């Protein structure tokens, strides 16, 4: 069922959910007090913080014990002037800043997890939880990140979530992070650790960066093996009050924070945000002048249509534009979920058309989605102001009961930036999605496993591109060619595809395959060992590659591969690696005071 969302009374709050105290054994300024930390949080403009010492709540406990002791003396009328001043300062700061209890847990093999709780959670409960997760009793107050054998990552996620906690993977893309940066193995484990339903968000260290190679972009739901889009935040991981002058990335309190759009500054509101599929309500903390220029709609336009978002300038019945929106809603639900923007073009340079009667239009969309898409689908629809115009946004979840259909029998799926009718094999996959567990049970996971080829699949699959489509040799029946297409994004194999029935990318791939095989001449191909480049071309803002791989069994053909699907030796044969090296040189020139020469080579002073 479609539902209308209103954030009219919401506002941006600044949070830092990763703050240590001297209760952590590796804290760098042991003379710092809890009042110092709260005062620094106020000075940095923080509205909510979490105390997350290593495998202990000793720091939070000591702060609360000090407050309770001062309050007890206050009731007895025995407060000294200095004590009275401290108590008043604690009360003032706690009225301004929401302080949450928590801990940074060290799971098996050293992975770090932020476990954060509502302020009414008792310290005794938290300590009991730590003991149940195998923190040794004699180390419960040590604050050390090395505590021996504890619980595995997925068990920690589940237990903390079941006990009402917010579960965030700490510095997921860095050391001790569950994204397993620098590991050349562990494919299935990385998927499990970053897609588990008990995990609410990822803390990343590159949130302020833009581009397709950032952690947030990697976990944005566009990759088939990572279909769940993850909320990404940043935190200071402060082990000191102020930043280290000798190490700029050794942050102090609030020096790497996140802004969140909430109806109120509470733990419950924050948890609701992380459970939602609205990814426009988090951003790296910005000063007022920077925040005024922050616009997630414009950012979406700059990214353009893809597997998780699209744009419609209007929603008129005439011309089938309303039906096209319903088809996209259905396709997103059957794929990875996504966002639709109504009233604007995908071209960020084109002014928005806007929607005239927003309330009536939202009512129409709710009615059409509820009546024409089955089974029932819970979408969220809201109105946004964008460049002086009213537009509509539809948030579509990844459906839990696929396949979804428009008018009972038209099943659509999303393939990169295209919505199309599902063919038989894709419908079968959607049906099976209901019956097959996406992730293995924790007991079945080997923390150092690797992705193995499926039975019957050749051993050279690991070197293939990760996007685009592979065309297998066709079969001819009664004078008509039937192709088998292999989607490189998810490994789905679709048989009996004809040129006439093929969707846009498949149609292109079949035409290129037929032309290539017909006039095949190996000496005219750019080779790097067994890796070959057939063609490089632009499609709008996207660069695509047609590739060939030489194997003992023959040649394999890959068409429409995008840059994010290029890896390994493919980066060299396509020239991407050379471009990246040139960019690094240019950036180095700028950082050292040089300037980029016209030919792209940096001139260093």
pLDDT digits (tens, 9 = 90+) for 8-60: 689 999 999 999 999 999 999 999 999 999 999 999 999 999 999 999 999 99
pLDDT tens digits, one per residue of 142-166: 999 999 889 999 999 999 999 999 9
Task: Output the six-digit token pair for 499.
Answer: 């040129």
Nearest to 17 by CA among 220, 129, 176, 165: 165
Task: Establish whether the linkage from the previous residue to 367 is cis, with ω within 30° of 0.
Answer: no
Strand 11-19 versus strand 258-262 pairing type: antiparallel
* pLDDT recorded at residue 5: 61
* pLDDT recorded at residue 249: 86
The span from the CA of 415 to the CA of 493, in Å, is 14
**Of residues 62 and 298, more confidently modeled:** 62
Would you say residue 98 has pLDDT above 50? Answer: yes
The span from the CA of 322 to the CA of 371, in Å, is 14
* pLDDT recorded at residue 2: 65
pLDDT tens digits, one per residue of 412-435: 999 888 999 998 888 998 998 766
* pLDDT recorded at residue 440: 44
pLDDT tens digits, one per residue of 244-270: 988 888 999 999 999 999 999 999 999
- Mean pLDDT over residues 485-495, rounded? 84
Mutual orientation of helices 187-195 and 153-162 as an angle, nearest 10°? Answer: 10
* pLDDT recorded at residue 256: 96
Per residue in 471-489, is it b (16+ CB within 10 Å) or e — as a string? Answer: beebeeeeeeeebbbbbbb
Q: What angle do CA 384, 389, 394 make, to 5 degrees?
A: 35
Would you say residue 342 has pLDDT above 60? Answer: yes
- Mean pLDDT over residues 569-590, rounded? 67
> Which residues, other chains included, contact 411 with Cβ-Cβ below 8 Å and sequence gap of 6+?
330, 334, 403, 404, 405, 421, 422, 427, 430
CATH number of 301-423: 3.30.950.30
- What's the whole-number average pLDDT of the chain? 87
The span from the CA of 288 to the CA of 292, in Å, is 6
- Mean pLDDT over residues 548-573, rounded? 92
- Residue spans of the domains in the chain: they are 11-294, 301-423, 465-574
* pLDDT recorded at residue 70: 97
CATH number of 11-294: 3.20.20.140
* pLDDT recorded at residue 496: 87
- Mean pLDDT over residues 310-338, rounded? 95
User: Which of 285-289, 391-395, 429-433 has the highest average model confidence (pLDDT)?
Assistant: 391-395
- Mean pLDDT over residues 293-303, rounded? 81
Fold identical between 11-294 and 301-423? no
Residue 441, CA distances (Å) to 24, 134, 154, 447, 458 in order? 33, 20, 9, 12, 27
pTM above 0.85, yes or no: no
* pLDDT recorded at residue 122: 97
The span from the CA of 593 to the CA of 603, in Å, is 9
> Which residues, other chains included, contact 254 with Cβ-Cβ below 8 Å and sequence gap of 6+?
14, 16, 40, 41, 43, 44, 45, 46, 49, 236, 238
Model confidence at 604, pLDDT cuts 50, 70, 90, reads very low
Nearest to 483 by CA among 502, 497, 494, 499: 497
User: Which of 183-192, 374-383, 576-585 has the highest average model confidence (pLDDT)?
Assistant: 374-383
**Of residues 605 and 207, more confidently modeled:** 207
- Helix, strand, coil in percent for the chain, rounding step 5: 35, 25, 40
* pLDDT recorded at residue 584: 46
* pLDDT recorded at residue 449: 40
DSSP-assigned states of every residue in 342-406: ESS-S-TTSPP---SSHHHHHHHHHHHHHHHEES----EEEEEEETTEEEEEEEEPPPSSPPPEE
Would you say residue 171 has pLDDT above 70? Answer: yes
- 452-461 — which CB contacts under 8 Å span 24+ positions? 454/491, 458/551, 458/553, 460/549, 460/551, 460/556
* pLDDT recorded at residue 495: 87
* pLDDT recorded at residue 448: 39
> Which residues, other chains included, contact 149 with Cβ-Cβ below 8 Å and sequence gap of 6+?
108, 134
Would you say residue 491 has pLDDT above 80? Answer: no
pLDDT tens digits, one per residue of 179-194: 986 666 567 888 899 9
Beta-carbon-side half-sphere exposure of residue 521 (alpha carbons within 13 Å)? 3
pLDDT tens digits, one per residue of 434-463: 665 344 444 334 443 433 333 333 445 468
- Alpha-helical (H) ranges within 174-246 are 187-195, 215-218
């Amino acid at each position: 069922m479609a539902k209308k969302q209103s954030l009219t009374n919401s506002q941006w709050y600044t949070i830092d959910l990763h703050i240590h105290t001297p209760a952590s054994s590796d804290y760098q300024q042991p003379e710092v007090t809890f009042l110092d930390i709260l005062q620094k949080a106020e000075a940095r403009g923080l509205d909510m913080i979490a105390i997350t010492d290593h495998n202990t709540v000793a720091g939070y406990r000591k702060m609360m014990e000090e407050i309770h002791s001062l309050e007890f003396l206050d009731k007895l009328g025995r407060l000294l002037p200095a004590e009275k001043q401290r108590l008043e300062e604690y009360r003032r700061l706690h009225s301004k800043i929401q302080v949450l209890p928590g801990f940074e847990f060290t799971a098996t093999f050293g992975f770090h997890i932020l476990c954060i709780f509502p302020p009414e959670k008792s310290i005794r409960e938290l300590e009991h939880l730590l003991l149940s997760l195998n923190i040794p009793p004699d180390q419960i107050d040590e604050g050390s990140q090395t505590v021996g054998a504890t619980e595995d990552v997925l068990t920690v996620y589940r237990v903390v979530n079941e006990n009402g906690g917010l579960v965030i993977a700490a510095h997921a893309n860095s050391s001790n992070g569950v994204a397993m940066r620098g590991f050349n193995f562990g494919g299935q484990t990385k998927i499990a650790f970053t897609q588990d339903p008990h995990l609410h968000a990822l803390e990343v260290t590159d949130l302020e960066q833009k581009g397709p190679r950032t952690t947030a972009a990697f976990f944005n739901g566009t990759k088939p093996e990572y279909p769940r889009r993850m909320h990404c935040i940043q935190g200071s991981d402060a082990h000191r009050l102020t930043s280290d002058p000798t190490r700029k990335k050794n942050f102090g309190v609030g020096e790497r924070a996140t802004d969140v759009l909430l109806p109120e500054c509470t733990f419950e509101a924050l948890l609701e945000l992380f459970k939602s599929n609205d990814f426009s309500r988090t951003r790296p903390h910005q000063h007022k002048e920077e925040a005024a220029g922050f616009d997630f709609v414009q950012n979406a336009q700059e990214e353009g249509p893809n597997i998780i978002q699209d744009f419609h300038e209007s929603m008129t019945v005439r011309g089938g534009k309303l039906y096209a929106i319903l088809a996209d809603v259905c396709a997103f639900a059957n794929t990875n979920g996504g966002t639709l923007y109504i009233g604007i073009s995908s071209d960020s340079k084109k002014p928005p058309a806007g929607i005239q009667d927003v309330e009536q239009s939202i009512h129409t969309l709710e009615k059409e989605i509820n009546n024409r898409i089955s089974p029932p689908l819970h979408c969220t629809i809201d109105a946004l102001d964008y460049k002086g115009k009213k537009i509509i946004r539809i948030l579509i979840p990844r459906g839990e009961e696929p396949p979804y259909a428009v008018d009972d029998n038209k099943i659509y799926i999303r393939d990169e930036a295209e919505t199309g009718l599902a063919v038989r094999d894709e419908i079968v996959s959607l049906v099976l999605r209901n019956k097959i567990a996406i992730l293995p049970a924790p007991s079945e996971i080997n923390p150092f496993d690797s992705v193995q080829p499926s039975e019957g699949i050749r051993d050279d699959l690991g070197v293939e591109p990760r996007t685009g489509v592979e065309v297998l040799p066709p079969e001819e029946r009664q004078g008509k060619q039937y192709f088998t297409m292999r989607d490189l994004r998810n490994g789905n194999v679709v048989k009996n595809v004809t040129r006439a029935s093929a969707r846009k990318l498949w149609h292109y791939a079949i035409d290129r395959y037929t032309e290539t095989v017909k006039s095949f001449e190996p000496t005219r191909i750019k080779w790097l060992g067994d890796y070959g480049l057939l063609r490089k071309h632009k499609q709008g803002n996207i660069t695509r590659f047609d590739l060939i791989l030489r194997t003992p069994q023959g040649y394999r053909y890959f068409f429409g591969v995008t840059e994010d699907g290029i890896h390994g030796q493919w980066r060299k044969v396509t020239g991407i690696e050379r471009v990246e090296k040139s960019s690094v040189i240019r950036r180095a020139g700028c950082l050292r005071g040089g300037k980029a020469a016209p030919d792209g080579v940096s001139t260093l002073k």
